[in-house]
Every structure is written in structure tokens, then in C-alpha cells.
Structure 1
Amino acid sequence: MATITKRRWTTGKGEKREAWVLAYTDAAGARRKQQFEKKRDADARRVEVEGQIVGGTYRHEAATKSVEDAVTDYLNDLVARRDRGEHVTEHYYKTTKAQLLNYVAPQPGRAISFDGGIGAVKLSQCTARTISDLRDRLRDAGVGVVTTRRILGSLSRALTYAVSKDMMAANPAATVRVTGKRGEGSKKVVPPTKNALAAVIKAADVNFALKIKFAAASGLRASEMHALTWNKIDFDAREVTVDSRVDVYGNMDTTKSEAGIRKIPLAATIATELKAWRIRSKFARDGDLVFPDTKGGYVQHGNMLKRNFRPLLESVAETQGRKFKPFGWHALRHFAISTWIEAGLQPKTIQTFAGHSSLAVTMSRYGHMFPSESHTAAMDKIAASVFGNGA
């Protein structure tokens, strides 16, 4: 059990001092001591420590380490894993760092100013209430549902790391959920119309038009498309193998998830145009990129949008007028998936081709696109089959 004793001493200047010393043995058998200026603080810590030891949640560092310490250690671990070539991209690291240092443990001099962080909170005092209060402050500050979820997700991973290092006993962020108003944070996927896509393809030069067609037919993410090499296209089987992506910093990595590794069939027309493109491309070896920059390297997606895609959309808008609705590059992926639905492919097949981590992801984003008869017609069919014989 813990004991509290008073300690008195005289300083070198002859001043008399006193303090209260808490002594206890932790669950591992180590003898610990902490000193307090006031007895009530020592008593409060004694009650806390005894409860944690009995409950098996005591961690020595939890009383001295803060959430900011846990965040710092986690970010350092991400750097080490990134440098070892593990599954941590530069983009993931920088995004996580921004979320944690802008909102969780705000640092001075950053672009975003948020004064509701919890960096100073000791890990022993970090509870689910601490996390939920942070969530509420983020929402009150105007941070959206999706962004709040991402911030708390990064915090949860940092605290999970702290648990793995015995800095705390449990992750209090694991049970905290972020909810919003009905419909808030969800966006209904609306692909471009066939007419709008046709107008853009018609206005593009032959090489860029093929790139747009391929994206709108294959459904590849931009990061996957920029990483695609010729040896991943089987012209005999007319299918493309997707197993890698490139981030915004030009670093090659595996796909977003294990489900992202997939094979996608190609239409004959797309395969024929790809063959012609390979013949006229300066980079046609098996290991070369299918859609490289002028030097054969990875295309910077932002530059491609700025220099090619957006000016193309503006040009089409000028000629088409109000009937043309501009769309983003990622909408080409939505277009591909919408055509698969229109063609009658089964949801599970669409999930596979899209590289979604689960069928729930596919249905939550595209479920409204699947055709279905009216509810009243469905009820008529049921009634006819059940009650039609006079039952």
C-alpha cells in the first residue's frame, strides 16, 4: 500500500522547507516516490495510484508523460517506419502530423490556430471525457464531421502507440464517436454525364484524351494511374493489374488496402488505343510508366490538373455554356463505377473492380445508383405470390 510521510529540511541559505512524500510499490514490484508541496495533493495521488494498481491500469509514465509527449513519440515512430520502407508514405506522415500538431497538441507558428487542444493533459488524466470534449470543441470551431473523425483517428493511433509502449493502460479515444446532423459529412456521388465527358474528350488532344478515357473506363484512382507500368497491362487477356500507387511526393507504395490489389478488364477500344499509344510513346519498355511526364517520371497530379485538365474544362465551358457542368478528375472514377452499375454488374464485382475495402463502402457511396423497381410494384409482386391463390 502507499504511504505518505512529511519531509523537512533546511536549505543552504538557512530556509526551512517541508514537503509530503508519497511512497508506493507498483504492480511490477518497483518502489516509487513522488513529492508534493501540499498533503491534499499527495492524498489525491495516493487514492489514484492505489485504484490504478488494484485495477491493473497503473503505468508509471502516465503521471509524467502528456498527450503531447505521446504525439511526439508516435510521429517519431512514423518517421522511423517511413525511413525503413514500411507502409508509411510521406503523404500519410505529413497529413497525420498536421492533424496532430494543428488540433490535438497545437504548436505555435502553424498555419491553423486552434486553442482547444489537449497536449498538456497527462496521460493518467486522459479519459474518454477528455477526448469527447476535444471533439465538441473541434465541432464548435467549425471543423467538419469528416475532418474531426480523421483528427480523432490520428489521435487514437497515437494513443494506441502509447499503450504499446506502456505509457498508458488503455486508449480512451477508441470508444469516442463523431456524429453530425443528418446528412452532414456525407456526399452523394454524382458522376459527370456522358455528354459532358464526351465534350471534354472531344476537346482534348489525342494523348490527353486517352488518359481521360482510360480513367473513365478503368476507375483507377489518380495515384494508381500515375504508378501504372506497361508490364501491368495484359493486352491478350485485355486486363490491367493494379498493385501500386504513387503519392504526391513521388514515392511508390502499395495500394491503399489489400483490396486495392485487383485486376480490371479493359474494353477492346481502350486496349487498341493503349497499344497505339505505346507505339508512339518514348517510354514503351515493360517497366516504363504508361502515363509518364516528359522525362519518363511520375506525373505530378496537381501540375496536371493546373496545366491540362482545368484549362480544358474552362475551354469546354466557354463553348458549351450553362449546359456543361465541370467536374473533378476523381469524378472519372465515379463515372466508371456508374457505368459498371448501369451495365448490370453485381455489387460484389463492382467492389472488386473499384478496389473498395468492403462492400459496405461500395453501397454507402453508390447504392443509390443501383436500379430498383418502385416500392409499390414490389409490394404488388409479393401480394400476388402470397395471396393470389386466395390464402
Structure 2
Amino acid sequence: MATITKRKWKTGKGEPREAWVLAYTDQAGKRHKEQFPRRKEADTRRIEVEGQVSTGAFREDAKKKTVVDAIDLFVKHLEKRHEREEKVTTMYLRNTTGQLNTHVKMHIGHIKLSELTARAVSGLIDTLKDAGVGIPTVRRVIGALSRALRYAVSQDMVAANVAQGVRVTSKRGEGSEKVTPPSKAELAAIQKAAREVELTLVATQPGKRPKGNQPPSWLTLGIMFAATTGLRASEQWALRWGKLDLTAGSVKVDTRVDAFGTFSVTKSEAGTREVPLGAAHVNALKQWRIDSKFAGDDDFVFPDTEGSYTRHTNFMKRNWKSDKKTERKGIIELAAIEDIGWHALRHFAISTWIEAGLSPKAVQTLAGHATFQITMDRYGHLFPAESHKIAMDKISSDLFA
């Protein structure tokens, strides 16, 4: 049973002061006292405590520990998993830590876990929006906070994960996951520009392999590979010849490499997949394997100039966008199209699958999406509605007959 009593005293200057003291006993028989400036706050806490004690959900640590403590404990947990290589990549560890430190600790890190509510999480969302943080980033931040609190629950720091179920809403169209792939004309311009870059290399380095900031000799082929197979950059740069079946015409995707050189399994179980290759693409790859100095089964299909994996950030700076240091124009500038990223090639590939008539489920499988919902959220608007029109024509003709 919890009780609330009023406490009065005088300050050193003789000024009267008062507070409301909540006293209660937890399920282990330990006595607790908490002080509040207003009766309403004490009553709110009393109701919460009585509910937790009666259900056995009371956590003493929640009175003392803050959101910062929960985050720090969660990050240490991730660091240990990373050391043990338990599906925590360097990229994931750094991104999650950065999101929690930058956006959560700054605004609600001081709040005691016992006082953290869903309303406080909603307030954090509003604060981030007001600060101009994009909706996708806000969603990632709240997701990271929810995972941190879930771990805190598992460690008996707090009774409930109040961030679970809190939604990040947005204006219509804001933060939408729907993608707009490059057009065929834009891809043709990209291919032409890539060829120009390769020809420039041949003219300046006749008979020599590219070095330093020079483009790789597989540039045109690499772009077409991404635009037809839909592999993510991390999957394409990790791809080795042994994963290509140039007889049957397929590529097995089961590995990725992050920006820090950490090789791991694909993003999700669904990411492990087999993607078919067209005959023209198979022929081009066969020729490239003959031409490449790195053609062993364990060699990378799209290596850097030394035969190691291609570092995506360096590749983008040196080839995709203009290099300010060397004043060499990048592919996007030469193509004279709107600035897009390499990932747009994956969007292009998926859009061509849809145009060719593949079912949504087949698209999900080939793209390696973890859920069908992801496929439809991003690409559902691209599926042709002709069958819907045919159905409506039939219905209307029957009604008006």
C-alpha cells in the first residue's frame, strides 16, 4: 500500500516550503520514499507504482537509472556482440550509437527510467521534427531507442518499453518509402558517360592498368550488373567469382562488406538468394573474367586496382561524382542528369523486373527484401494496373448491358 504525506519546512531564510512524499513497499518488502513538489505528480506516481508492485513489474533501478544509463548499457552489449561477430557490423554499431548519442541523449537522456513515458517519446519525435531532422532519420532514432529500452527491460532496469508502438507520423507523402527509379534514357546517359571515362583512361594510360584515382576497367560492366541484378553495393563489392555460375547463368548472393571492410552475411535471411543472369550479361562476364588479372574463384568480380574489394565511398568520390582535386568530371556530371546515388541502379533493376511482368512475390525474392511489405511500400506503385482496368471494364459492361 502506498501513502502520500505532506511535508513542510522552512529554508535558511525562514521561507516556508512544502513537498509531497510518496512512501511504498515493493514486492520484496523494501521500503521506498519519493518526493514531489505537487500532489498531482505524487498521485500519478502512486498509481503507477501500485500497479507495478501488484503485478510484480516494479524495478528499483528505474528510480535511479536514466535513459543515458540504459543507452550506455545497450551500446556495451552491442560492442560485445560485435567483438563476437554476432550479426552486429561496424556500420550498424556506429550508426546506432550515433543516433542514440546525438538525438536521444541530448533531449531526454536525463529522464529517469521510472518517469519515462510514451508521451515523452512522442515529445522527442516532435523536437526532432522541429529541428529539421528528416522523417526517415527520426524513425531510425525511435527504433534505436526502442531496442535500447527493450534490452533495459531484459536486464531488469525498467518494467516496460514505452517506445514500443510509438509511431512517427508525417504529412502525406513526407518520408514516403516509394522510390522513383532512373529512366531508361538516364541509364543510357550513365552508360555513355562511364564509357567516356573508360576511354579517357585508355588514352592516358595505354597498356597499363588503372592506378590511384583512375577508374576501374570494369566500370561499364559494373554499372550494368547493378542495373540488372539489383544487388546492393555492399553485396556487389563483396561478390567473388566462385559465387557466379556462368554456365547456368546465375549469381548467388550471401555476403556483404560494409564501409569499414567488415564482411558478413547478407542484411537479412531473405537477402541470401540466387539471381538469374541474362545471356548477354553472362557473355560479358565471361569476357571480363578472361581479361581480369584477378580471375580466381576467391577473387573479387569487381576489385580495386590491387585486387582487393572496392571501397564504396572512395569509388563514388573518384568515379561517380566529380573529383574536385583532379578536376576530373564524374559520371553523373558527364551524363548531365539529376544527381542520383549508386543505389538508384538497384531501383532501376527492380523497376524492369516489374515492367517485365514478374509477380510482387518474385520481386521480393530477387530483391532480397525481408518482408513483402517492404517491396510493396517501395515499389507497389510501379506494378501495372492494366488487370485492374480490365476487371473494371468487365464490371461496367455487365452493369450497363
TM-score range, shorter chain: 0.7 to 0.9
CA contact (8 A) 2:24 2:31 kept: yes
Q: Which whole-Å deviations, capped at 9, do the CAs of 1:282-314 have from their partners, x for residues lacking one?
A: 222111211111222221101101111224995
Shift of 1:72: 0.5
1:363 is matched with 376
Q: TM-score if structure 1 supplies the norm length?
A: 0.84
Shift of 1:377: 5.5
1:11 is matched with none
Q: Would the alpha carbon gap of residues 165 and 199 (structure 1) be closer, same or farther in structure 2, given more than 3 Å must change?
A: same
CA contact (8 A) 1:35 1:42 kept: no
Residues of 1 paired with 2:66 and 2:315: CA distance?
A: 43
Residues of 2 paired with 1:347 and 1:171: CA distance?
A: 35
Which amino acid in structure 1 is aligned with residue 157 of structure 2? Answer: M
Shift of 1:25: 4.6
Q: Which whole-Å deviations, capped at 9, do the CAs of 1:88-147 have from their partners, x for residues lacking one?
A: 0111111111111111112xxxxxxxxxx1111111111111111111111122222111
Deviates more, 1:165-174 or 1:273-282: 273-282
Which amino acid in structure 1 is aligned with residue 245 of structure 2? Answer: D
2:129 is matched with 139
Q: Would the alpha carbon gap of residues 291 and 26 (structure 1) be closer, same or farther in structure 2, given more than 3 Å must change?
A: same
Q: TM-score if structure 2 supplies the norm length?
A: 0.82
Which amino acid in structure 2 is aligned with residue 139 of structure 1? Answer: K
2:238 is matched with 227
Q: Show the 5 A alignment for 1:75-90.
A: 75-90=75-90
Residues of 2 paired with 1:163 and 1:208: CA distance?
A: 49
Residues of 2 paired with 1:182 and 1:195: CA distance?
A: 30
Shift of 1:277: 1.4
Q: Would the alpha carbon gap of residues 325 and 46 (structure 1) be closer, same or farther in structure 2, given more than 3 Å must change?
A: closer
CA contact (8 A) 2:36 2:42 kept: no
CA contact (8 A) 2:223 2:345 kept: yes
Q: Show the 5 A alignment for 1:1-391.
A: 1=1, 25-27=25-27, 29=28, 31-34=30-33, 49-106=49-106, 117-186=107-176, 188-203=178-193, 204=195, 205=198, 207-311=218-322, 314=329, 324-373=337-386, 378-384=391-397, 386-387=398-399
1:113 is matched with none
SS of 1:356 mapped into structure 2: coil
Shift of 1:64: 0.5
CA RMSD of aligned residues (A): 3.0
Which amino acid in structure 2 is aligned with residue 338 of structure 1? Answer: S
Q: Which whole-Å deviations, capped at 9, do the CAs of 1:123-178 have from their partners, x for residues lacking one?
A: 11111111111111111222221111111110000000000001111100002111
Residues of 1 paired with 2:319 and 2:46: CA distance?
A: 66
Q: Which whole-Å deviations, capped at 9, do the CAs of 1:51-109 have from their partners, x for residues lacking one?
A: 42123321110100111100000011010100011010111111111111111112xxx
Deviates more, 1:330-339 or 1:360-369: 360-369
SS of 1:263 mapped into structure 2: strand
CA contact (8 A) 1:104 1:119 kept: yes
What is the aligned residue count? 363
Q: Would the alpha carbon gap of residues 162 and 81 (structure 1) be closer, same or farther in structure 2, given more than 3 Å must change?
A: same
Q: Would the alpha carbon gap of residues 317 and 164 (structure 1) be closer, same or farther in structure 2, given more than 3 Å must change?
A: closer
CA contact (8 A) 1:66 1:119 kept: yes
Deviates more, 1:63-72 or 1:287-296: 287-296
CA contact (8 A) 1:22 1:42 kept: no
Residues of 2 paired with 1:119 and 1:330: CA distance?
A: 35
Residues of 1 paired with 2:384 and 2:46: CA distance?
A: 65
Which amino acid in structure 1 is aligned with residue 310 of structure 2? Answer: V
2:209 is matched with none
CA contact (8 A) 1:4 1:42 kept: no
Q: Would the alpha carbon gap of residues 148 and 124 (structure 1) be closer, same or farther in structure 2, given more than 3 Å must change?
A: same
SS of 1:86 mapped into structure 2: coil
1:9 is matched with none
SS of 1:264 mapped into structure 2: strand
Residues of 2 paired with 1:66 and 1:379: CA distance?
A: 58
Runs of 5+ in structure 2 lacking a partner?
6-19, 199-216
Q: Would the alpha carbon gap of residues 307 and 25 (structure 1) be closer, same or farther in structure 2, given more than 3 Å must change?
A: same
Runs of 5+ in structure 1 lacking a partner?
6-19, 107-116
CA contact (8 A) 2:66 2:112 kept: yes
SS of 1:160 mapped into structure 2: helix
Residues of 2 paired with 1:220 and 1:33: CA distance?
A: 57
SS of 2:129 mapped into structure 1: helix
CA contact (8 A) 1:104 1:118 kept: yes
SS of 2:218 mapped into structure 1: helix
Q: Would the alpha carbon gap of residues 22 and 361 (structure 1) be closer, same or farther in structure 2, given more than 3 Å must change?
A: closer
Q: Would the alpha carbon gap of residues 378 and 124 (structure 1) be closer, same or farther in structure 2, given more than 3 Å must change?
A: same
CA contact (8 A) 2:241 2:299 kept: yes
